[in-house]
Chains A and B, each alone.
Chain A
Amino acid sequence: MSEPVAFDRRDFIRGAAAAAFAGGAYALVGEKGDDMLWQLDPNKCTQCGRCTTHCVLPHSAVKCLNQFNICGYCDLCFGYLQPGSRDRDTGAENQLCPTAAIKRTFIEDPYYEYIIDEEKCIGCAKCVKACLVFGNASFYLQIRQDICINCNECSIAKACPSDSFMKVPAHTPYIYLTGDFESTISKPSGDPHQPQTTLGPKEESAAI
């Protein structure tokens, strides 16, 4: 195996192939060679509910967010309450969420805070749709990057009817809504995506 071999045609082919790999690799990585993660664009999302069922994980990596600076803190929250529910309270029969993942807390009259329990949320988007239709649209879906296993082809992306899924660079892994939901972000690059723009640098590091 270690005997010196004369340089022959096959050595040349091997050398050429190795060089082609190196050159090709360099050209491919280039500037676009970021690590990419899947994310969904809340502006394109139509709340069809497929995120719940099409993720390869037993519990979908897509979860709901409530962006507090958009939330109206309404007493009559359509994202929280079942349409036509008799009482505005935390009774199970009044809740829209099938897994009771939204926690309603009284803040001050007439405001209530709504916090989503990550463990329970299944990403069904029922609350998202209701808040979009009747409220401020502060609920929206995002892929939780700590849960997502980043499949090479996302199964939900394949099933998504509105083409909301895209790959975003790993350093900006979320697409936040800003306060102005009419002209929110739809492209994975640009300042509005930087977490500090919408959240402030302090908030980014501090998690609940």
Chain B
Amino acid sequence: MINLFSLKQKQKEAADGTGGRVPVKKQSAGELRVQKDISELNLSKTTFISFPNGKDDLLNFEITIRPDEGYYMGGTFVFSFKISPIYPHEAPKVKCKTKVYHPNIDLEGNVCLNILREDWKPVLSINSIIYGLQYLFLDPNPDDPLNQEAADVLKDHPKQFESNVKRSMAVKNIRKFATY
């Protein structure tokens, strides 16, 4: 254990010996871990990452997904990632910035993906979330809907769903589909 008085003495000596210290810039636990996650990212050819605040802010970034198959082929969907200082204790906050007609994404950009909320575990990584998002476009899940209308159409009239998706990606105006 430490004797504070001898400790204090040493501290004084140390302070006398050196002059102005260079302030250390603190990294949060989240930053340390996300550095690791990002350096190990394995992005497929349909996925892109960008850092709006430059190379030294890894806590905020955007993932762009351009599906090359499935209902959403040809679309471009941007997700914002916000990493908490206590990541990976807490899952990243992910929002879809592109309005999309999708059973698991609502019009405010909320995404229903289990690993973003109830099933998040610290062993998961940014990579796992990106896989999850890609999968949402390949295989939208009508059983866990966030946009019920879209889910119903997908379940009962897949053809209709397909054309709704196409139209929505063309007209960029999803809101009216909400009233289906």
Q: Do A and B come from one complex?
A: no
